[in-house]
Structure 1
Amino acid sequence: MIYQWVQQLITQAVAAQLIKQEDVIYARNQVLSLLRLAEFKEEKAERENDDEISDLLEKIVEYACTHKIIEDLFDEKEIFSSQLMNCLIARPSFINQIFYENYQQNPEFATDYFYKLSKNSHYIQMKRIRNNIEYKVETKYGELDITINVSKPEKDPRSIELERMADKSDYPKCLLCIENEGYAGRIGHPARSNHRMIRVDLLGENWYLQFSPYVYYHEHCILLSEKHTDMKMSAATFLRLLTFVEKFPHYFVGSNADLPIVGGSILSHEHYQGGHYEFAMTKADSDWTFEMAGFQDVDCSIVKWPMAVIRLRSEQIGSLVEAGSHIFLKWQNYSDESLEIISRTGETPHNTITPIARKNGDFFELDMVLRNNRTNDDHPLGIFHPHADVHHIKKENIGLIEVMGLAVLPARLKEELEEVEKYILDEAHRVADYHLAWAEELKVRYRVTANETTVESFVRAEVGKKFLKGLEDAAVFKRNAEGQEGFQRFIGACSSMNVVEV
Structure 2
Amino acid sequence: MVYQVIQKLIDRGVEVQLIEPEDKIYARNQILALLGLTEFKPVEVGNTDMADIPDLLNQLVEYAISQHIIKDIFDEKEILASQIMNCLVTRPSAVNQTFYEKYRNSPAAATDYFYELSKNSNYIQMKRVQKNIEYKVCTEYGELDITINLSKPEKDPRSIELERAAVSTEYPKCLLCIENEGYAGRIGHPARANHRMIRVNLLEENWLLQFSPYVYYPEHCIVLSEKHIGMSISPTTFQRLLFFVAQFPHYFLGSNADLPIVGGSILSHEHYQGGHYTFAMAKAEADYRFNLVKFPAVDCSVVKWPMSVIRLRSQQFSPLVDVADHLLKEWRNYSDEALGIIANTGETCHNTITPIARKNGLFFELDLVLRNNRTSLVHPLGIFHPHADVHHIKKENIGLIEVMGLAVLPARLKEEMKEVENYILGESASVADYHAVWAEELKTRYQRDVTKANVEAVVREEVGKKYLKCLEDAAVFKRDEQGRKGFHRFIQSVM
- TM bracket (short chain): over 0.9
1:61-120 Cα deviation digits (max 9, x unpaired): 000001001010000000000000000000000000000000000000000000000000
Equivalence for 1:235: 235
Equivalence for 2:320: 320
1:74-153 to 2 correspondence within 5 Å? Answer: 74-153=74-153
Size of the alignment, in residue pairs?
495
Equivalence for 1:359: 359
1:23 aligns with 2:30: no
Superposed CA RMSD: 0.7
1:282-293 to 2 correspondence within 5 Å? Answer: 282-293=282-293
1:143-164 Cα deviation digits (max 9, x unpaired): 0000000100100000000000
Pairwise CA distance, 1:445 = 1.2
1:29-65 Cα deviation digits (max 9, x unpaired): 1001101111100123489313100110000100000
Asked if 1 retains the 8 angstrom alpha-carbon contact of 2:146 and 2:407, the reply is yes
Per the alignment, in what secondary structure is the counterpart of residue 239 of structure 2? Answer: helix
Equivalence for 1:247: 247
Asked if 1 retains the 8 angstrom alpha-carbon contact of 2:12 and 2:50, the reply is no
Asked if 1 retains the 8 angstrom alpha-carbon contact of 2:8 and 2:50, the reply is no
Q: TM-score, normalised by structure 2?
A: 0.99
1:314-368 Cα deviation digits (max 9, x unpaired): 0111100000000010000000000000000000000000000000111100000
Equivalence for 2:445: 445
Deviates more, 1:38-47 or 1:332-341: 38-47
1: CA distance, partners of 2:61 / 2:46: 21
2: CA distance, partners of 1:290 / 1:86: 53
Per the alignment, in what secondary structure is the counterpart of residue 323 of structure 1? Answer: helix
Equivalence for 1:458: 458
1: CA distance, partners of 2:375 / 2:448: 41
Equivalence for 2:489: 489
Equivalence for 2:204: 204
1: CA distance, partners of 2:149 / 2:18: 28
Equivalence for 2:177: 177
Per the alignment, in what secondary structure is the counterpart of residue 104 of structure 2? Answer: helix
2: CA distance, partners of 1:137 / 1:48: 40
Q: TM-score, normalised by structure 1?
A: 0.98
Per the alignment, in what secondary structure is the counterpart of residue 458 of structure 2? Answer: helix
1:215-270 Cα deviation digits (max 9, x unpaired): 00000000000110010110000000000000000000000000000000000000
What code does the residue aligned with 2:392 have? H
What code does the residue aligned with 1:449 have? D
What code does the residue aligned with 1:139 have? T
2: CA distance, partners of 1:63 / 1:45: 19
Per the alignment, in what secondary structure is the counterpart of residue 105 of structure 1? Answer: coil
Equivalence for 1:348: 348
1: CA distance, partners of 2:136 / 2:150: 17
1:347-426 to 2 correspondence within 5 Å? Answer: 347-426=347-426
What code does the residue aligned with 2:307 have? M
What code does the residue aligned with 1:279 have? F
Equivalence for 1:499: none
1:438-479 Cα deviation digits (max 9, x unpaired): 001111111112121100000000000000000000000000
2: CA distance, partners of 1:114 / 1:47: 27
What code does the residue aligned with 2:217 have? Y
1:339 aligns with 2:339: yes
What code does the residue aligned with 1:372 have? N
1:275-314 to 2 correspondence within 5 Å? Answer: 275-314=275-314
What code does the residue aligned with 2:79 have? I
2: CA distance, partners of 1:269 / 1:419: 40
Q: What are structure 1's unaligned runs of at least 5 residues?
A: 496-502
Equivalence for 2:187: 187
1: CA distance, partners of 2:232 / 2:284: 28
Per the alignment, in what secondary structure is the counterpart of residue 169 of structure 1? Answer: coil
What code does the residue aligned with 2:489 have? R
Per the alignment, in what secondary structure is the counterpart of residue 239 of structure 1? Answer: helix
What code does the residue aligned with 1:147 have? T
2: CA distance, partners of 1:43 / 1:295: 71
Per the alignment, in what secondary structure is the counterpart of residue 65 of structure 2? Answer: helix
1: CA distance, partners of 2:48 / 2:452: 39
2: CA distance, partners of 1:60 / 1:460: 38
2: CA distance, partners of 1:50 / 1:37: 23
Equivalence for 2:224: 224
Q: What are structure 2's unaligned runs of at least 5 residues?
A: none
Asked if 1 retains the 8 angstrom alpha-carbon contact of 2:242 and 2:317, the reply is yes
1: CA distance, partners of 2:371 / 2:33: 53
